[in-house]
Chains A and B, each alone.
Chain A
Amino acid sequence: SQQGEEDPQALSIQEGENATMNCSYKTSINNLQWYRQNSGRGLVHLILIRSNEREKHSGRLRVTLDTSKKSSSLLITASRAADTASYFCATTLINTGTASKLTFGTGTRLQVTL
């Protein structure tokens, strides 16, 4: 079963605009990670935020985490056509006995047009 749900399921923006994707999850987590997947390829790790962190930046990426609402957001600033991909949040659950098993959400498909 999927732990996370991304919103929106699909997003289309123009190059230069910002893209915001949201992720909600169901149970308490150790950390939350965001991954990108280009069509027909494997996933690439983007950023990890620990449960005791609220915001993290990496280049054009900004991730927030609100554990009280069980939600996270990924902001991509100044988007480029090369950002076109599916984006997934993934969580590591607390007290599962399998510390690093990641559970993925359903993904947001981002299309960046010229």
Chain B
Amino acid sequence: DTGVSQNPRHKITKRGQNVTFRCDPISEHNRLYWYRQTLGQGPEFLTYFQNEAQLEKSRLLSDRFSAERPKGSFSTLEIQRTEQGDSAMYLCASSTTTGSSYNSPLHFGNGTRLTVT
């Protein structure tokens, strides 16, 4: 299967600890997105990359959050000094910019569910 892969699927951590999530996009996709989703809500945009360049960050992404995509392939999302409010599903998606970039559907991974105790 060549879909978007996210690891780990679940992460339980204690408040104050750092966590890192990984996303492997579909190989030919040059855009990669991170979203956060809390229970009963739609996904909220966090940040996105085109190749290795981080082109936009949401105001939701505090200084404790950092994302990288060093070689334009996989990406990592790190949360430092986790808080209980960080508990959520973190979703990664990828897309391609062939054709009009306005009309590219996103391909999502199954997410990493973070629980901060």
Chain A residues packing against B (C-beta within 8 Å):
2, 4, 30-31, 33, 35, 40-45, 48, 50, 88, 90, 92, 98-107
Contacts and interface: CB of A to CB of B under 8 A. Distances in A.
Nearest to A38: B110
B103 A104 contact: no
Given A43-B106, A43-B108, 11 more contacts: A4-B42, A31-B102, A41-B110, A41-B111, A45-B106, A48-B105, A98-B56, A100-B97, A101-B56, A103-B45, A104-B42
Contacts of A4: 42
Closest 7 CB pairs of A and B: A42-B108, A104-B42, A45-B105, A30-B102, A99-B101, A43-B108, A42-B110
B42 A50 contact: no
A41 B104 CA distance: 21
A33 B108 CA distance: 14
Interface string B88-107: 00010101010001111111
A107 B108 CA distance: 16
Nearest to B35: A104
B102 A101 contact: no
Contacts of A98: 48, 55-56
